[in-house]
Chain A
Amino acid sequence: MRTEVPVAIAFIAGMLMIVSLFVPHPVISEPASVVRGWAIIITGFAYVLGVANIARISLGVLRKRGKDWEYKFVLLAALAVMIVLGIGLGIRSGSAFDWAYQNLYVPMQSTMFSLLAFFIASAAYRAFRARSVEATLLLVTAAIVMLGRVPISEHIWGRFPDFTEWIMEVPNMAAKRGIMIGAALGGISTGLKMVLGLERSYLGGG
C-alpha cells in the first residue's frame, strides 16, 4: 500500500494533465485546474518545511557552538527580522520590509551577479586554450563571434556581423536544436516512467 497508493495518485494526476492538453472540455479541464490549484497550495505549505529545515539545522549548530556558528546566528537573526517586519508591518512599497529588501538584499544580489563577469573571463581563458583541434575550433569561432558583435568588425569587413549571425543561426542553432530534441524526448520519457510507475525512486522505496 505504501507504494501502490502514491503510484496510483501519480498515474491519475499525470494522465489528467496529459489528457487536459488535448481535451479542452470542462469534464477534463475543470478537474485538471483543481489539481493544479492543489499543487500551488501544497507548494505554499512546503515553505513551512523550508523554514523548519533552516531553523532545525541552524539552531542545532548554535546550541553546540559548532563550526561557523556565527553565520548561523546571522542567518537566523535575518530570518527573524524579515518575518517580524513582513508580518508585523506589511510588505507594501515603502514599508520597512521593502526598505530592507531593496537596500540590503538587492545590492547583495547584484554583487553576486556581477561576479559572473570575472568568472566568465577566467572560464573563457581556460576553455579557449588551443590544446586540441576541437578547442582550437572553439577558440576561432568564439573570437569571430565576439569580434562580430562589436562595431569595429564592420570596419574590418563589411559582412562580418552577417557572418557572425550566420554562425549563431545556422551551425550553432543546429547543435542547440539537436540537444533540445534529445532533451525533450528524455524529459517525456522520464515523465512517462513516473506516470507508468516504472520509476519509483521519488517514493523512496523503489
Chain B
Amino acid sequence: MTNRFGFWLFVSALVMLPVRCLAVGLVSVDDVPGDDGTALRVSWTGQLALADTLRIWRATYPDTAWQEVATVDPRQGGYTDTGLSIGSRYFYKVTSASGLSAVSDPVQPRASILNRARINQLIILAVFVAFVLVYIRLAASGRKFFVRRIAGLSAIEEAIGRATEMGKPILYVPGIDDMDNIQTIASMVILKDVARLAGTYETPIIVPVCRPFVVPVAEEAVKQGFLHAGRPEFYNPNNIRYLSDEQFAFTAGISGIMMREGTAANLYMGSFFAESLILAETGFSTGAIQVAGTANVHQLPFFVAACDYTLIGEELYAASAYLSKEAKLLGTLKASDLAKLVILVLLVAGFITETAGFTAFAEWFTPR
C-alpha cells in the first residue's frame, strides 16, 4: 500500500509541477483536530481568495475522477470536508469560474484521542465529580449534612393530605419529554416518593404520560411506592395513562382528567413547555392545590404565577435526596453547593481579570 502510494505521490508531483508553477494561489489541507478522523480542512490563499466562487474537488489519486464536494464563497477562508474514511489519503483541487486552479498535497485524516477543545469541560467535570465522590465518602463515614427546608417539597405532603381529606385523587404529570431528559428521570424519582405518600394515605394517584417509553418506568415507580408504603393492593395500573405524544392533545387529555375526575392535588414535575400555563390555570380553576417543578427557565414564571408552590431549577433535582433523606444522596447536594461556591469565586475572578484587560482567564472557560 505504501509503495503504491509512493508511486502515485511521485506521479502526482510530476503531473502537478507545471500546475504549481502557474499556481494562482496555494491550497493547503490540514487534519481537523479533535475529531474522529473523518474530516479535513481545506484552505486557500493568493488570487483564489479574490474569486467570486470556488469549487472544491476531491480525489483519492490525482489521475482518478475528481469529485466536486462543495461550492463556497472564498471569503470563508476555508471549507471543512466531512464524511471521509479513516486511513485514506485525499488530494484536493480548488477551481474558480475564471479558470484559477490549484492542487494540494495528499493528506490523510487522523482520529484524535482527545478533543482538546473540550479539555476545559473535562477538567470542570472532573472537579465536580471529585466533589461528589468526596461528599459521598463523607456521608458514608457518618457525617450529617444540613439541607435547608424546601417549601415546595414540604408542600407535596400537604397537598396529598388535602386530597385524602377530600377523597379525591392526586394528579402527577411527569412533563412532556422522554426518558432521555434528565428532568423526566428526576421526576420519576420524585414520583416514587409521591406514590409512597399516596399509598400511606390510601389515595389514588393518576399519572398521565406523554411518551410511551415513560409508561413502564412510571408504572414501576408507582408500584414500588405503594409497595414501600405497605399498600401494594392500592396500586392500579389503569391510573398510569399514556395519552398522546402530541403536546396539545396531551394537554387536552390532562385538562379533561382534571375537570372530570376533580383531582384535588396536581403535581407537575419535569420538563414543560407551552402547555405549562394551560395545565396550571385549568388546575387552578378546579380549586386543586398545585405544586410544580421544572428546570425549563422560560416556564418557571407561569408556574410561579399559577401554582401554590414551585420548585425552581435545581430544587427539582434535589427532591430525591430531600424526600428520601438518604445520606449519600444528600452528599451530592452538598457537592453541588460547593461547586456553586467555586463558580461564584470564578465569576468574581473573571469579572476582575476582564476589567483589568486580562482576557485569557475568561476565554479558557468559553466553549470552543
Write out the residue numbers on chain A whose beta carbons fall within 8 Å of the beta carbon of B185. 190, 194, 202
Of residues 13 to 47 in A, which have CB atoms within 8 Å of B's CB atoms?
18, 21-26, 29, 39, 42-43, 46-47
Distance A146 CA – B121 CA, assembled complex (angstroms): 38
Query: How distant is B281 from chain A, measured CB to nearest CB, in Å?
Result: 4
| B242 in the interface (beta carbon within 8 A) | yes
When distances are taken between beta carbons in the complex, the residues of chain A under 8 Å from B132 are 189, 192
Number of interface residues of A (CB under 8 A): 62
* A133: Cβ under 8 A from any B Cβ: no
Contacts of A53 in B (CB 8 A): 212, 215, 240-242
**Measured between alpha carbons, how far is A198 from B320 in the docked complex, in Å?**
11
Within 8 A of A (CB), among B125-167: 125, 128-129, 132, 136
**Interface: B59 (CB within 8 A):** no
| Interface CB pairs A-B, < 8 A, 14 | A21-B118, A22-B114, A23-B114, A50-B242, A67-B260, A68-B260, A108-B248, A109-B249, A119-B306, A182-B314, A183-B316, A193-B329, A202-B189, A204-B221
Contact pattern, A 46-62, Cβ under 8 Å of B = 1, otherwise 0: 11111101101100100
Q: Does B318 contact A (CB under 8 A)?
A: yes
**A175 CB to closest chain B CB, in angstroms?**
9
Q: Determine how close the nearest CB of chain A comes to the CB of B76; give it in whole angstroms.
A: 23
Q: Which residues of A contact B114 (CB under 8 A)?
A: 22-23
B252 and A112 within 8 A (CB): yes
Pick the contact of A190: B178, B238, B317 (CB < 8 A): B317
A178-203, CB < 8 A from B: 179-183, 185-194, 198-199, 201-203
Query: Among the listed B211, B212, B278, B317, which residue makes an inter-chain contact with A187, where contact means beta carbons less than 8 Å apart?
Result: B317
Categorize the interface residue count of chain B. 35 or more
The answer to whether A201 and B212 have CB atoms under 8 Å apart is: no
The chain B residue sitting closest to A24, CB to CB, is B36
Contact A189 B336 (CB under 8 A): yes
CB A76 to nearest CB in B, in angstroms, measures: 13
- Given A53-B242, A124-B305, A189-B336, A181-B221 contact (CB < 8 Å): no
State whether B178 touches A24 (Cβ < 8 A): no
B313 and A179 contacting across the interface, CB-CB below 8 Å:
yes
Contact of A126 with B305 in the complex, beta carbons under 8 Å: yes
Q: Complex Cα distance A50/B125, Å?
A: 37
New A-B contacts (20) at CB < 8 Å, excluding given A25-B37, A120-B277, A204-B220: A22-B121, A26-B36, A53-B241, A108-B248, A109-B246, A112-B251, A122-B281, A126-B305, A179-B297, A179-B300, A181-B340, A181-B343, A186-B318, A189-B332, A189-B333, A190-B182, A191-B182, A192-B129, A193-B329, A199-B329
Q: B interface, by DSSP: helix, strand, loop or mixed? A: helix
Are the CB atoms of B313 and A182 closer together than 8 Å?
Answer: yes
In this assembly, does A71 line the interface, its C-beta being within 8 Å of a C-beta of chain B? yes
For A71, the chain B residues whose CB sits under 8 A away are 256
B186-228 residues with Cβ-Cβ distance < 8 A to A are 186, 188-189, 192, 211-213, 215-217, 220-221, 223-224
Query: What is the minimal beta-carbon distance from B191 to any residue of chain A, in angstroms?
Result: 8
Of A22, A71, A186, which is in contact with the most chain B CB atoms at under 10 Å from its CB?
A186
- Asked whether A186 and B215 contact (CB < 8 A) given A43-B178, A179-B300, the answer is no
A159 within 8 A of B: no
A157 CB within 8 Å of chain B:
no
Closest CB in chain A relative to B126 CB, distance in Å: 10
Q: B332 near A193 (CB under 8 angstroms)? A: yes
A18 to B111 Cα, complex, angstroms: 18
Q: Does A205 interact with chain B (Cβ within 8 Å)? A: yes
| A25-B113, A53-B212 known; A116-B129 Cβ under 8 A | no
Residue of A with least CB distance to B116: A22
B278 touches A123 (CB 8 A): no
A99 at the interface (CB under 8 A from B): no
Of all chain B residues, which has the CB nearest A121?
A: B281
Bound Cα distance from A60 to B237, whole angstroms: 12
* Closest B residue, CB atoms, query A111: B248
**Chain B residues with CB under 8 A of A199:** 189, 320, 329
The interface residues of chain A lying within 8 Å CB-to-CB of B247 are 109
Asked if B122 lies at the interface with its beta carbon under 8 angstroms from chain A, I say yes
In the complex, A120→B275 CA distance in Å? Answer: 11
CB pair B213 A46 closer than 8 Å? yes
Return chain A residues, CB-CB under 8 Å to B186: 186, 190
Docked CA distance A25–B35 (Å): 7
B51 within 8 A of A: no
Complex Cα distance, B290 from A143, in Å, reads 27
Residue pair A24, B332 in contact (C-beta under 8 Å)? no
A109 CA to B131 CA, complexed, in Å: 46
Q: Which 10 A-B pairs have the closest CB atoms?
A: A50-B212, A186-B317, A183-B313, A182-B314, A186-B314, A127-B305, A183-B295, A112-B248, A46-B213, A119-B281
Kindly list chain A residues whose C-beta atoms are within 8 Å of the C-beta of B314: 179, 182-183, 185-186
CA gap between A54 and B250 in the complex, in Å: 13
